[in-house]
Amino acid sequence: GALGGLGLGLWRRQQAAMAASEEKDEDEKEEEELRQRFMAPPVSGLRELRRQRRELRSRMELLIMETQGEVCRALAALDPGASFAVDTWERKEGGGGISCVLQDGEVFEKAGVNVSVVSGLLSEEAARQMRSRGKSLKAKDGKLPFCAMGVSSVIHPKNPHVPTMHFNYRYFEIEEADGTKQWWFGGGTDLTPTYLNEEDAVHFHKTLKEACDKHDLKLYPKYKKWCDDYFYIKHRGERRGIGGIFFDDVDSPSKEEVFQFVKSCAKAVVPCYIPIVKRHCHDSFTPEEKLWQQLRRGRYVEFNLVYDRGTKFGLLTPGSRIESILMSLPLTARWEYMHTPPESSKEAEILEVLRNPKDWVH
For the annotated catalytic residues, the residue numbers are 166
Q: Provide the sign of the torsion angle of the four alpha carbons 320, 149, 252, 303, taken in this order.
A: positive
Distance CA 294, CA 301 (A): 11
All residues at 6 or more sequence positions from 127 whose CB lies less than 8 Å from its CB, including other chains: 137, 139, 144
Distance CA 203, CA 360 (A): 9
Q: Tell me phi and psi for residue 285, to 5 degrees.
A: -150, 160
Helices (H), the chain: 2-37, 46-51, 56-78, 124-131, 198-213, 219-230, 255-267, 269-280, 287-306, 309-316, 322-325, 346-355
All residues at 6 or more sequence positions from 23 whose CB lies less than 8 Å from its CB, including other chains: none
Please name the amino acid found at residue 255. Answer: K
What's the per-residue H, E or C state across 147-216? EEEEEEEEEEECCCCCCEEEEEEEEEEEECCCCCEEEEEEEEEEEECCCCCHHHHHHHHHHHHHHHHCCC
Quick check: 341 and 292 in contact, CB under 8 A? yes
Question: Distances from the Cα of 296 to the Cαs of 220, 236, 358, in angstroms?
Answer: 26, 12, 19
